[in-house]
Amino acid sequence: MSRNPYDYYITEEEYALAISNGISNSTLEYRIRSLGWSKQKALTTAVQKHKKYPLWALELAQVNGIPYKTFKNRIFSGWDFETAATRKIGETNQSRKRKYPIEIIELAKKNGISYSNFTKRVNRFKWDVMKAATTPIMSKEQSLANARKKSTFRLGIESFWNEKRPLRKVT
């Protein structure tokens, strides 16, 4: 269906009608010119209102350092207003079951082992939990020295250069 170019022209009376229906001029223009709505639909469809939250809950969230977006997402996820406004960010539910005891994780932290490194050692490399928490992390120099010791390439190069060969004459 082709539209007449004059369908995009908005008269002063239409602007006045939109204002009386609670629709701003920019919203009316966007609906007609960008979205391609008919003038009748653009003039009569009400603007959607955003959900408003209780002022006390917003103030409580602000006092507790909870950003507005975080508060809004918590409400959307089904939290009640008070909990969404008071629970600190990053605070976990105490009833959550842990895969590893908190004491072991604290021991690893005390030994300079990050949580991700600890879990990698246990899950990927199949280390014992205590070994993973207590074995110190190697420095780059130690790691390089171990790699050089175990490298078969290095042994091959050394044997190549160490073997006796007759000298060639340069002509």
Give percent helix, percent strand, percent coil of the chain, each to the nearest 5: 60, 0, 40
Q: What number of CA atoms fall less than 13 Å from residue 24's CA on the CB side?
A: 4
Tell me what pLDDT residue 49 has. 77
Instruction: Give alpha helix (H) positions in 33-92.
Output: 39-44, 55-63, 68-76, 81-86
Instruction: Report the residue count for the chain.
Output: 171
Ordered by start, the domain boundaries in the chain are: 5-44, 55-86, 98-149
pTM: 0.37
CB 29 within 8 A of CB 39: no
Tens digits of per-residue pLDDT, 76-107?
Answer: 888 999 999 999 887 665 555 678 989 999 99
Convert the pLDDT of each residue in 2-34 to its tens digit.
677 777 889 999 999 999 999 999 999 999 989
